[in-house]
């Protein structure tokens, strides 16, 4: 435990509860208990006695186990790790954790969905939270971001309205984890500032394949301040090493039932397997004198600074390498707050950020039951804490000495930090204005950036957006709301609005024609975010049954595993299958317990004497069909290729008779029997690295 990043782990270990293996069961008072299966009663069939203190304590504690869930972002998963800068950022900020590449700062990150309650499914269409707590040597810094760079509203006073609209409807608490309902779209159609974030919500960014494969954004313009007191505007970006990858909507929906913990489990499993997820932290820096150099307002959180205009400069990397030990103690009780800043990082007057700086502390007081939540292990800074704050619910510190300032009786301690110390000083921004309740004129353009987002998409991304709008609005009962939303879309792009209108039974509007908004930002397309191109941690299913060519399976399996993929053999029943060579081979999972939506690709090996290995199993056929329809790579070898004829109704046309490797839009085949050559393996690996094959007809989006 030598590295600085271990400081948090050492502190955390000191809070471990006593080892239950170390002695018998006790009460909360430490009294040993010899019997916890029957309550103390007056006679064999008699009433329970009040004096059964063990029973009362056990039940009472249980009755109070739940705390309020987060009002938004209730469902989440967290992990510990570290951050290290690439080089000193002293030119822009004096933040200690951004100075020295040899210093690792411990972090805790919590990913989340927003709309659904704690028990809702992971793969819903939603924004994902990406909140990072840096336990720096100067105190905790929280970067509480999302996986979209823009937000739905411009002023925090609208947050309760927006959240009420998107949350389940008040009369029946429906729908769970979904935005496809009347109140959200009613709000959107009346509040055009939502449109930019709505475009992101309708895009594939809202259904990430993995928390490990999504970007994070600080959203607001923040301010760096260097040692000389010079300020620089800054936007924060997290970029995942594995690239940004998404699910297909049809798949995301099925996944909600097949594995509601799809994203949470994926993060947990990767960390347990030593496949530590990694992100690069980047910053867009804008000198103060360029504050008004843009055709939007830097204080408006519904706008991005296109990367082509201000490049993202990489400044460090974060690795998550440790799962929490107790979900409630750590992931549930972690308390983020946008106002947790350290010297060198400051705010701007973004009215959304200003509201957040109030809301996060306020919400922890109700959620965690009082002002001492900073003493909870996951929230404790590793920097020393010396305050005059005292008492309150759940106080666990035994404070010594005086509790006021100034004092002489306590030796004047804790004293003010000296002038040379690294105390936080607020950026001395000059502020002058009349008290008014009015949205700034510079916040008024609600259409050009949604248009830029849409126009920056590839054709397949645009198709997915249209399909998402049709799905969501198709679930809205009020036709007036559907029509009004389409009218808003028409102000973004006439073609988009008409396409959507055609799918939802409302009149096709005129509207903004191509060319009105010229700006594009290629960096917004998923095509530009492929990551390192590796297939590490991708889940590959190999469908096997008795008579399978086991040698074939073993050779591909080894080759894929060498690339870091996770390969599982799935058979109609669990246990063993008998290979064509007469040997027994272990099955990883029984087909009825899994589904194609839980894997990234599927391989169909050949069978004995040319017999297809899986053809007769309906689960296997459905597996292959779903994988194909969702654009996933499909590999087939020898007689396994015959199984693909089941995909002809889906539009697959195989070039038959070819014995060598043929790779066509993610379908990779080799009809020759026996061990495949490296050409096949490479083609299959490339198909997996490409993630999905959108050009395949007619993939169900």
Contacting positions for ligand HDE (CB under 6 A) = 70-73, 76, 110, 112, 129, 131, 144-146, 151, 156, 159, 219, 301, 334, 336, 352, 355-356, 359-360, 363
Rounded distance between C-alpha atoms, residue 322 and residue 278, angstroms: 12
CB of 300 to ligand HDE, least distance (A): 12
The runs of H, that is alpha helices, within 120-194 are 159-166, 182-190
List the catalytic residue out of 73, 337, 446, 455: 73
Residue 398, token pair as written in the block: 């035994």
* Closer residue to ligand HDE, CB minimum distance, 160 or 257: 160
Q: For 457, which DSSP code?
A: S
Place of tokens 């009346």: 190
Q: Contact at 8 Å (CB) between 569 and 553?
A: yes
The 3-class secondary structure across 599-617, one letter per residue, is CCEEEECCEHHHCCCCCCC
The runs of H, that is alpha helices, within 368-422 are none
List the catalytic residue out of 54, 140, 146, 259: 146
* Closer residue to ligand HDE, CB minimum distance, 11 or 357: 357
Rounded distance between C-alpha atoms, residue 126 and residue 105, angstroms: 30
Nearest to residue 15, comparing CAs of 375, 331, 337, 280?
Answer: 375
Q: Is 146 a catalytic residue?
A: yes
Number of other residues whose CB lies within 10 A of the CB of residue 493: 24
203 contacts: CB under 8 Å, gap ≥ 6: 453, 457, 461, 464, 465, 468
* Closer residue to ligand HDE, CB minimum distance, 53 or 268: 268
- What is the chain's length? 701
Nearest to residue 486, comparing CAs of 472, 501, 474?
Answer: 501
* Closer residue to ligand HDE, CB minimum distance, 232 or 379: 379
Rounded distance between C-alpha atoms, residue 292 and residue 295, angstroms: 8
* Closer residue to ligand HDE, CB minimum distance, 156 or 579: 156
* Closer residue to ligand HDE, CB minimum distance, 233 or 684: 233
Burial class (CB in 10 A: 0-12, 13-18, 19+), 317: middle
Q: Contact at 8 Å (CB) between 493 and 455?
A: yes
- Terminal C-alpha separation, the chain: 48
Nearest to residue 303, comparing CAs of 440, 495, 438?
Answer: 440
CB of 159 to ligand HDE, least distance (A): 4
* Closer residue to ligand HDE, CB minimum distance, 301 or 304: 301
Q: Which residue is nearest to ligand HDE (CB)?
A: 129
Catalytic residue list:
73, 146
């Amino acid at each position: 435990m030598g590295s600085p990043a271990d400081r948090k782990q050492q502190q955390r270990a000191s809070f471990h509860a006593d080892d239950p293996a170390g002695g018998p069961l006790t009460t909360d008072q430490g009294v040993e208990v010899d019997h916890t299966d029957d309550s103390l009663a007056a006679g064999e069939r008699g009433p329970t006695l009040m004096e059964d203190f063990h029973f009362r304590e056990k039940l009472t504690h249980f009755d109070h186990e739940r705390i309020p869930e987060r009002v938004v972002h209730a469902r989440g998963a967290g992990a510990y790790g570290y951050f290290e800068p690439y080089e000193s950022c002293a030119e822009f900020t004096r933040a200690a954790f951004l100075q020295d590449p040899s210093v690792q700062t411990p972090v805790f990150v919590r990913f989340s969905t927003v709309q659904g309650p704690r028990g809702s499914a992971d793969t819903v269409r939603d924004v994902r939270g990406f909140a990072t707590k840096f336990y720096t040597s100067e105190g905790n810094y929280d970067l509480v971001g999302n996986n979209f760079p823009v937000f739905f509203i411009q002023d925090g006073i609208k947050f309760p309205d927006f959240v009420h609209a998107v949350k389940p409807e008040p009369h029946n608490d429906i729908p769970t984890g979904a935005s496809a309902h009347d109140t959200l779209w009613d709000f959107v159609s009346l509040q055009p500032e939502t449109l930019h974030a709505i475009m992101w919500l309708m895009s594939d960014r809202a259904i990430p394949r993995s928390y490990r494969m999504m970007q994070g954004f600080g959203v607001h313009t923040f301010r760096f301040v260097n040692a000389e007191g010079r300020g620089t505007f800054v936007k924060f970006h997290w970029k995942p090493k594995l690239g940004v990858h998404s699910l297909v909507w049809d798949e995301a929906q099925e996944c909600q039932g097949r594995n509601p913990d799809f994203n949470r489990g994926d993060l947990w499993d990767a960390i347990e397997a030593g496949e530590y997820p990694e992100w690069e932290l980047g910053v867009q820096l804008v000198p103060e004198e360029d504050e008004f150099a843009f055709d939007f307002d830097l204080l408006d959180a519904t706008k991005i600074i296109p990367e082509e205009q201000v490049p993202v400069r990489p400044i460090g990397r974060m690795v998550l390498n440790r799962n929490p030990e107790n979900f409630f103690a750590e992931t549930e009780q972690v308390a983020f707050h946008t106002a947790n800043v350290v010297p060198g990082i400051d705010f701007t007057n973004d009215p959304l950020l200003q509201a957040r700086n109030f809301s996060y502390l306020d919400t922890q007081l109700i959620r965690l039951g009082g002002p001492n939540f900073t003493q909870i292990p996951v929230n404790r800074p590793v920097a020393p804490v010396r305050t005059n704050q005292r008492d309150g619910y759940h106080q666990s510190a035994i404070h010594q000495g005086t509790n006021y300032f100034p004092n002489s009786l306590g030796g004047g301690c804790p004293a003010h930090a000296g002038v040379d110390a690294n105390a936080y000083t607020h950026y001395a921004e000059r502020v002058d204005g009349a008290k008014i309740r009015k949205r700034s004129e510079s916040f008024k353009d609600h259409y050009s950036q949604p248009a830029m987002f849409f126009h920056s998409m590839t054709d397949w991304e645009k198709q997915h957006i249209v399909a998402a709008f049709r799905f969501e609005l198709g679930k809205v009962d009020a036709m007036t709301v559907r029509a009004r939303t389409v009218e808003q879309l028409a102000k973004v792009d006439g073609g988009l609005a008409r396409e959507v209108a055609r799918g939802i039974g409302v009149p096709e509007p005129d509207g903004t024609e191509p060319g009105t908004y010229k700006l594009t930002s290629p960096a917004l397309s998923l095509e530009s975010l492929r990551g390192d191109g590796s297939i590490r941690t991708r889940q590959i299913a190999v469908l096997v049954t008795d008579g399978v060519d086991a040698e074939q399976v073993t050779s591909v399996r080894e080759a894929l595993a060498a690339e870091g993929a996770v390969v599982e053999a799935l058979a109609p029943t669990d246990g063993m299958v008998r290979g064509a060579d007469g040997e027994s081979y272990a099955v990883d999972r029984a087909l009825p317990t899994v589904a194609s939506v839980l894997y990234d690709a599927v391989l169909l090996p050949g069978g004995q004497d040319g017999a297809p290995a899986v053809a007769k199993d309906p689960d296997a056929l459905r597996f292959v069909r779903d994988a194909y329809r969702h654009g996933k790579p499909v590999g087939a070898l020898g007689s396994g290729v015959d199984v693909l004829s089941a995909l002809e109704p889906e539009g697959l046309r195989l070039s038959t008779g070819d014995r060598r490797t043929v790779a066509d839009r993610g379908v990779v085949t080799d009809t020759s029997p026996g061990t495949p050559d490296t050409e096949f393996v490479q083609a299959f690996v490339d198909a997996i690295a490409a993630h999905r094959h959108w050009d395949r007809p007619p993939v169900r989006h």
